[in-house]
Amino acid sequence: MTKIKSFNRANLEDVRKALQVKLDEIQKELGVAISVGNMRFNDETFTAKMTAAVAGDTKRGVDVVAKTLWNKHCMFHDMKKSDFGKKTIINGEEFKITGIKPRSRNSITCTRTRDNKGYKISSSMVKAGMTK
Sites in the chain below the pLDDT cut of 50: 59-61
Instruction: Please give the backbone phi and psi of residue 68, each rounded to the nearest 5 degrees, phi first.
Output: -65, -45
Q: 92 with 118: CB under 8 angstroms?
A: no
- Give pLDDT, residue 83: 94
Residue 117 CB contacts under 8 Å (≥ 6 apart), including other chains: 111
- Give pLDDT, residue 96: 94
- Give pLDDT, residue 59: 45
Cα dihedral value 123, 33, 48, 40, nearest 10: -40
- Give pLDDT, residue 98: 92
